[in-house]
Structure 1
Amino acid sequence: MNDHYYSNKPQSASNRQDFETLLRGFKLRLTSDAGVFSRDGVDYGSRVLIEGMEFPSDAKVLDIGCGYGPIGLIAARLAPQGHVTLIDINERAVELAKHNAKVNGVHNVSFAYSDLFSAVEAETFDVILSNPPIRAGKAVVHQLLEQSWARLNPGGKTWVVIQNKQGAPTARAKLEEVYGEDEVVEVGKDKGFRLYCCTRK
């Protein structure tokens, strides 16, 4: 069965599970399911991104590849006067993210099914957040990194977390090609994960 967390419609039988987690000082009650990324708990890479990301409280934010929503929901807490759009190709993941926003009382959010940026091609953002889908392959990841620049407002920032052994050096090279070498800054590293902040000048 060719069923991955980046599948449009996961074929694995639904088996929801609930858990609580503390992220950036906020307690979230989350529901995950089979066929979505990191179903047993918020993965370490996402935690590195959540702990390191910074943006204004009124930012317009995009969480691409949102999964069941932990990054985007915390972003919404950090930008209470802003708005966060959560998108994913995985329909089950998007439905879970909607559910988790409702359960946690997060209202400054919207959701869309999206193959990369297809659902938001008419929009631009102050901030893009991504823990990219490594298992979808290097070509997909690099396409995401390339297309992020055009979806940013001038001065906007893309935050990307990626594991060293899963392609951080080549991802950084791609980001420097797209954004310019001086505009890609490694702002954190933890247990083999690298967190990059890239600015559109």
Structure 2
Amino acid sequence: MADHYYTERPTVRSDKRTIAAELRGFRFQFTSDSGVFSRDGVDYGSRVLIGMMEIPPAAAILDVGCGYGPIGLTAARLAPQGHVTMLDINERAAALSRENAALNGIGNVTVQTSDLYEAVEGQRFDVILSNPPIRAGKAVVHRILAEAKEHLKPGGSLWIVIQNKQGAPSARAKLEELFGEDAVEEIGKDKGYRIYRAKLV
């Protein structure tokens, strides 16, 4: 079976490439590779989330499923007095995120290989960000949403991007079940991608 980007140790041969991207007014160089999500460029869903996410300058932030780092590293630039913890089950993706943090001179990040929230058990954050791995299945996506609640500080927010045709309505329903209808808001949409924010009140 071919590797998926949520494979722990991709076996596909390494084929590194460099990507230039401008995100939230910051210029980045990213090293990408085979066996990671959206290796040829920052995907549209991540760009939509990055464009809409609200990051307090001193926030403790968690990026779940960080890939090679565009969401978490942009958050780190937006929170110069804060800190971003970046997690991915894919060891190659986590290594690339570390490499890309160094490449872009970003020091306020910690990158860990982790199956969802495993590496941050007992920790709580002001902001959790995720472009969830839709291909891993609905059960995994809903675990990301459910376990986020246990890792948010009071008043903290979960931000996710999800495509309409890939389960946005069911994700919203799950968020409302977890956080309460009044705590969930659609912040915006773009080309079928929806950005939801769920607040722990």
Could you tell me how far 1:191 is from its partner in structure 2?
0.2
Partner of 1:132: 132
Structure 1 residue aligned with 2:185 = 185
For residue 122 of structure 1, report the CA deviation from its aligned partner: 2.1
Distance 2:116 2:98 in 1: 19
Supply the distance in 2 between the matched residues of 1:174 and 1:63 (Cα, whole angstroms): 20
Alignment of 1:160-175 (within 5 A): 160-175=160-175
Q: How far is 1:56 from its partner?
A: 1.1
Q: 2:194: which partner in 1?
A: 194
Quote the Cα distance in structure 1 between the aligned partners of 2:79 and 2:55.
Answer: 8
Displaced runs of 4 or more, over 3 A: none
2:142 partner amino acid: H
1:60-83 Cα shifts (integer Å, max 9, x gaps): 000000000000000000000000
Residue 144 of structure 2 is matched in structure 1 by 144
1:12 matched to 2:12: yes
Query: What per-residue deviation string (whole Å, max 9, x for no partner) do you get for residues 31-58 of structure 1?
Result: 1000000000000000000000002100
In structure 2, what residue type is equivalent to 1:41? G
Equivalent positions of 1:91-110 (< 5 A) are: 91-110=91-110
Structure 2 letter corresponding to 1:186 = E
Counterpart in 2 of 1:56?
A: 56
What secondary structure is seen at the aligned counterpart in 1 of 2:45?
A: helix
Q: TM-score, normalised by structure 2?
A: 0.99
Distance (Å, rounded) in 2 between the aligned partners of 1:2 and 1:31: 22
Residues in 2 aligned to 1:104 and 1:5: alpha-carbon distance in whole angstroms:
23
Which residue in the other structure is 1:34 paired with? 34
Q: How far is the alpha carbon of 1:182 from its aligned partner?
A: 0.5
Residue 145 of structure 1 aligns with an amino acid whose one-letter code is: L
Aligned counterparts of 1:111 and 1:122: Cα–Cα separation in 2: 17
CA deviations over 1:150-179 (Å, ceiling 9, x no partner): 100000000000000000000000010011
Q: What is the TM-score normalised by the length of structure 1?
A: 0.99
1:27 shift after superposition: 0.3
Structure 2: tracts of 5 or more residues without a match: none
SS at match of 2:116: coil
Deviation, structure 1 residue 2: 3.5
Paired residues in the alignment total 201
State the alpha-carbon separation in 2 of the partners of residues 35 and 106 from structure 1. Answer: 24
Counterpart CA distance in 2 for 1:135 and 1:142 is 13
Distance in structure 1 (CA, Å) of the matches to 2:2 and 2:126: 35
Q: State the secondary structure of the residue aligned to 1:92.
A: helix
Instruction: Give, in angstroms, the shift of residue 19 of structure 1.
Output: 1.4
- SS of structure 2 residue aligned to 1:170: helix
Q: Which runs of 5+ in 1 are unaligned?
A: none
Alpha-carbon separation, structure 2, partners of 1:103 and 1:112: 17
Partner residue in 2 for 1:70: 70
Structure 1: distance between partners of 2:2 and 2:142: 22
Question: 1:23 — aligned with what?
Answer: 23
